[in-house]
Structure 1
Amino acid sequence: MAQILVERENRRFNPDWTTQFFFHEVKGKPTCLICNSSVAINKVANVKRHYTQNHPDYDGRFTPGTARGQEQLDRLTRQANGQMAMMRGATSLQQRAATAAVQALYPEKPDIQQAVQSVPLSRNTCARRIKVIANHITEGVIYDLNMCESFSVAVDESTDVNDVAQLSVFVRYYLNSKFSEDLAAVIPLTERTTGKKIRWLSKGKALQRVWTVRQHIEQFLSEIGGDAAERFLEILRSEHSLRDMDFLTDILAHLNDLNLELQGEGRNVVELWLAVTSFKDKLHCFYEDINSDINHFPITTEFVNGRDDVVNLTPARAFLVDVFLEVEHCFAGLDSIIGIIELVA
């Protein structure tokens, strides 16, 4: 009776549900792009109920209609399309193999052939085929990375079908006269994570976080006691160690800013060259600044102003020289095409 009422109401999937509730249509049923669960009836109340009850944080993290929301929707859609294409490919391959085997064994019995063709693949068979394909792709990426001269790594936050945060590791490399980009690994993040925590994976943010909670760390080490704790306490209470940590926190924050400028899809070589050139100019400014007002190093400034005696910043100046030489070395390849860059810049 319920099915007859549904057919009479002529309920159909509304495309607006995709942008509003992260749903798409699979075999006539509204299916959640986030967790891959389906709703029995094409009804907005059912779709909305599933979205609000099972994914309440999505409105805050990926608000529909915003750029971040659209980016997440595009990512989930590509993921779903890829999974369906892989399943169709694995199913087709298995069915062709089974059909060929039955035709060879029972060439005069079309009823048996038809029966075998109509048998669906089990879930375990599909999962096994997907695992084989995934392993093959992984081995191919590892082989290419071993063959190429150099490669770069980028990380991004994503979620799986159960909305569990994971770290996606991408690699970009040059091999066989072409640039390639592949997904190297997906690492589940079992603890609760946010975009801010993902950015703490960089050294600058990590050290800044340690500096922010250094007093709590010192209190914790004092409470637990022990030889190891005492050694760490000596480091935290040492004037030289605090000076070095404050300066490293400042300079690594600047390096982290450069790192972010060099990331992002669609960045061209001119933009990267301008970012590197600008940072090298900043290093000259930093070197002069460390000899005078140290305005570009706020944490170091706080440390210096809190001391009555003169703070020796000679190690900081030497470190800035090393940073400049390292940047020159890492981006030496840009010098070979500087003529072309200046022409199009």
Structure 2
Amino acid sequence: MDRNPSSKAKFIRKYNPDLINFGFVNGGSEAEPRAQCVECGLTLSNEALKPSKLKRHLETKHPKLIGKPVDYFKRKDDGLQMQRRSIVSLTGDAKCALKASYLVARRVAQSKKAFTIAEELVLPAAVDMCREMIGEAAAKKLKTIPLSNDIVSHRIADIASDIEQQLLERIRKSPFFSLQLDESTDVTNAALLLVFVRYRWDSSLQEDILFCGELPTRATAEECFRCMDNYFTENGLDWQNCVGVCSDGAASMTGRHRGVIKQILDLAPEAKWTHCFLHRENLAKKMSPEFHEVMDVTVKTINFIKSNAVNSRCFAQLCEGMEADHVQLLYHSEVRWLSRGLVLTRIFELRNEIFSFLTDKKSPLAHHYTNATFIAKLAYLSDIFSLLNQLNISLQGRNSNIFFVADKVQAFQKKLSLWSKRAHEERLDMFPLLSDILESSPQVKISHSVSQHLSHLANKFAEYFPEDPREGHMWVVDPFSVDPTENDVALPSHLESQLLEVSTDSTLKGQWGKLDLGSFWIVVSKEYPLLALRAFKVLLPFTTTYLCESGFSTVATTKTKARSRLRASLEATLRVSLSPIPPRLDLIMSKRQAQKSAEDHL
């Protein structure tokens, strides 16, 4: 038998309700009671649960309470319990208010509004609604949510930091990633470099904003690359894992010796550069000299009407009086991809109203709108540029790949060849506006001009899209229809064998039609990792700079003239606004509380 006293179980005294006579209640738990004085709140150890010790405390610390009835101590106990509940409630309310401030700050960033809107509009509106729908108590609780301008800014910075940490962790775990980048200026003429990334995560390919950096002086190739390389170095990203870079064709990007792309490819031998399909399509849709006159007259007409405020108002009133579908013309801008088609269509739709207005103003431009040939050419340009706009819109969007965009471009190239042939045969029914004009004006003959312009467009598309990026990679789209023994699959022999195994796997074939390409090859990677990695190298590269262009639109909406000093928090606001990664609010709050606790102990 072990006689060592230390091996004996610790003796736990139980709380006796009669100890309330000495002004003490149970301030511990049922398992380990502790004596707590209802007067001063002092909590004693379990060993002090002896009437003699508690009586001594009452006589020495609170002699005036000797002889008080038990009801007095019970009332004190009720007050103590209420105080405990209040402390717990206040702690819970503070956490809820903190989390609510993060949720509101995130919505403010996503709405691209000024940070002051939270305190000036969101909170007062929420208080008013709660007061009417729930009651004054709920409204008072909402008033405790901190939503000042500085607090919202700090909350957005915390959320952005957490999202960035998650993104970097995902990129490091992804076998490969690709980039798209572009540079532009904001409302204060600050040069910004915007970079997006595509990577593999979980069961799909993801896209996200990597960073938005401000270039110190000029947007040169050296500055752009230095900004990117510094970010990669600071965050532990490896250029070796980059398999694709997409940009426009600007000289600073594509310079043969010192361009950004050249410097990236030197560090990332696996990477391939893709010239943005949207920019190439915009460069290809040039107008032949014969139709330049129509565009010149169109621009002069718009400037005559819209450059003068009185003319603009009078024209709008005229359109309303003639019950037109529109009352304003649109300005033409070369840098806007869809501008030319929209401008020409609006001019064509309002051609009668324009003629009346120009005639009333005795403008020399009026006679063009009575010329049947001019109107026919205007109708054709409206038709063809509307079709080009449809192509441009189809190339926009997220999660596109080389197969999708190449299919769209090739289909349009074949249409151009077909339309040119039909126009040469004087069959123009594929252009509805032009067909209507020719029916009412059969004397107009522009088939030859249309055929020449379509041939010119076809040549331009062939010039800007000379290669077929799908060649040798069709096995990625449909591994079950491509036979590596008969088709060029651009694979080494050991991967050709794996492709044959995949093509005969009925289980994988059942999933192929249900999943997108990225998700399908992630499933394949579990059994055929090397073949799947080769597929990822084909699917990961961006095909357009659509995300950068939409990102700069967000910059223009967020950083306005009224918010021109939004500099330090611009990247954080963009990240919260554009990133699909949800923030880990509980983790952010725990870090914030731990930081505050550490500061309190200093």
**Residues 174 and 207 of structure 1, relative CA distance in 2, 3 Å threshold:** farther
Task: Give the structure 2 partner of residue 22 of structure 1.
Answer: 107
The SS at the match of 2:97 is coil
Rounded Cα–Cα distance in structure 2 between residues aligned with 1:249 and 1:310: 17
Rounded Cα–Cα distance in structure 2 between residues aligned with 1:50 and 1:34: 21
* Offset at residue 293 of structure 1 (A): 4.5
- Within the candidate set 428, 445, 455, 1:321 is matched to 455
Task: Give the structure 2 partner of residue 214 of structure 1.
Answer: 351
- Within the candidate set 137, 148, 153, 2:253 is matched to 148
Rounded Cα–Cα distance in structure 1 between residues aligned with 2:427 and 2:386: 18
Contiguous gaps of at least 5 residues in structure 2: 1-86, 130-151, 162-187, 193-212, 225-249, 266-270, 276-329, 478-602
* Offset at residue 310 of structure 1 (A): 5.8
Rounded Cα–Cα distance in structure 2 between residues aligned with 1:300 and 1:224: 28
The SS at the match of 1:134 is strand
- 8 Å CA contact 1:17, 1:23 repeated in 2: no
Range that drifts further, 8-17 or 249-258: 8-17
* Offset at residue 23 of structure 1 (A): 4.1
Rounded Cα–Cα distance in structure 2 between residues aligned with 1:33 and 1:277: 38
Task: Give the structure 2 partner of residue 187 of structure 1.
Answer: none
- Within the candidate set 93, 97, 114, 1:12 is matched to 97
- 8 Å CA contact 2:368, 2:374 repeated in 1: yes
User: % of aligned pairs identical?
Assistant: 16
The SS at the match of 1:311 is coil
Q: How many residues align?
A: 226
Rounded Cα–Cα distance in structure 1 between residues aligned with 2:406 and 2:219: 34
Task: Give the structure 1 partner of residue 204 of structure 2.
Answer: none
Task: Give the structure 2 partner of residue 56 of structure 1.
Answer: none
**Residues 180 and 136 of structure 1, relative CA distance in 2, 3 Å threshold:** farther
Task: Give the structure 2 partner of residue 174 of structure 1.
Answer: 261
* Offset at residue 344 of structure 1 (A): 3.2
**Residues 233 and 13 of structure 1, relative CA distance in 2, 3 Å threshold:** same
Task: Give the structure 1 partner of residue 476 of structure 2.
Answer: 344
Rounded Cα–Cα distance in structure 2 between residues aligned with 1:298 and 1:243: 11
Task: Give the structure 1 partner of residue 124 of structure 2.
Answer: 46
Rounded Cα–Cα distance in structure 1 between residues aligned with 2:191 and 2:451: 53
Alignment of 1:1-345 (within 5 A): 10=94, 12-15=97-100, 18=103, 22-23=107-108, 34-37=113-116, 39=118, 46=124, 48=126, 80-81=156-157, 134-136=214-216, 139-140=219-220, 145-149=250-254, 174-176=261-263, 177=265, 201-225=338-362, 229-230=363-364, 232-290=365-423, 291=425, 293-309=427-443, 311-332=445-466, 334-335=467-468, 337-345=469-477
- 8 Å CA contact 2:372, 2:441 repeated in 1: no
Cα deviation digits, residues 197-221 of structure 1 (max 9, x gap): 9988521112111111122221221
What is the TM-score with the length of structure 2 in the denominator? 0.31
Which of the two has higher C-alpha Rg? Answer: 2
Task: Give the structure 2 partner of residue 93 of structure 1.
Answer: none
* Offset at residue 143 of structure 1 (A): 5.8
* Offset at residue 273 of structure 1 (A): 1.0
Matched to 1:149, the amino acid is T
**Residues 36 and 297 of structure 1, relative CA distance in 2, 3 Å threshold:** same
Rounded Cα–Cα distance in structure 1 between residues aligned with 2:451 and 2:128: 59
- 8 Å CA contact 2:372, 2:444 repeated in 1: no
Matched to 1:46, the amino acid is P
The SS at the match of 1:240 is helix
- 8 Å CA contact 2:105, 2:156 repeated in 1: no
The SS at the match of 1:12 is helix
- 8 Å CA contact 1:287, 1:317 repeated in 2: yes
What is the TM-score with the length of structure 1 in the denominator? 0.51
Does 1 or 2 have the higher relative contact order (CA < 8 Å, sep 6+)?
A: 2
**Residues 281 and 45 of structure 1, relative CA distance in 2, 3 Å threshold:** same
Contiguous gaps of at least 5 residues in structure 1: 25-30, 52-75, 86-127, 151-172, 182-195
Task: Give the structure 2 partner of residue 114 of structure 1.
Answer: none
Aligned CA RMSD, in angstroms, stands at: 4.9
Matched to 1:323, the amino acid is L
